[in-house]
């Protein structure tokens, strides 16, 4: 499966920690972006420059989020198996997920993109 990776896409990928398990997260950074991780246990947060061919993924719900790039770092695009386009269950929540933003916040609020001038 190949498609240009876009910030905001929800993707399914092989877990970097447990290769036999699948995970589903939102892409919040793509190759060339510099981001500030959102869930770091250190007192100082260092910007991360996303390498070409890699993405940064995070859960929409930070409070109950499982493992994401804040734990295992950048995700190689080859680990991505597909893009999630529809939520089909439960029936009361069926919806088109293409071009959606995380609930109650914009993408820019989810993971801070660092302006290029600050990364030099």
Report pLDDT digits (tens) over 26-61: 998 999 999 888 765 555 678 899 999 999 998 887
Question: What's the average model confidence in pLDDT over 20-31?
Answer: 90
pLDDT value, residue 106: 44
Q: Which of 10, 36, 3 is nearest to 101 (CA)?
A: 10
Give the model's pLDDT for residue 4: 76
Residue 66 has pLDDT above 80, yes or no: no
* CA contacts within 13 A on the Cβ side of 82: 4
pLDDT at 76: 94
Q: Is-contact 28 110, C-beta < 8 A? A: yes
Q: What is the pLDDT of residue 117?
A: 47
pTM of the model: 0.77
Tell me: the pLDDT tens digits for 87-120? Answer: 888 888 888 887 777 654 444 444 556 666 455 4
Tokens of 31: 């190759």
Q: What per-residue confidence (pLDDT) applies to 116?
A: 60
Distance, CA of 83 to CA of 7 (rounded, Å): 12
């Amino acid at each position: 499966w190949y498609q240009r990776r876009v910030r905001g896409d929800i993707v399914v990928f092989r877990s970097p920690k447990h290769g036999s398990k699948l995970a589903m997260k939102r892409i919040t950074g793509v190759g060339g972006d510099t981001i500030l991780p959102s869930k770091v246990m250190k007192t100082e947060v260092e910007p991360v420059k996303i390498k070409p061919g890699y993405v940064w993924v995070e859960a929409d719900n930070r409070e109950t989020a499982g493992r994401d790039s804040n734990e295992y770092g950048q995700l190689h695009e080859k680990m991505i198996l597909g893009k999630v386009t529809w939520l089909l269950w439960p029936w009361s929540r069926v919806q088109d997920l293409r071009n959606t933003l995380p609930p109650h916040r914009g993408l820019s609020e989810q993971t801070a993109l660092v302006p290029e001038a600050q990364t030099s």
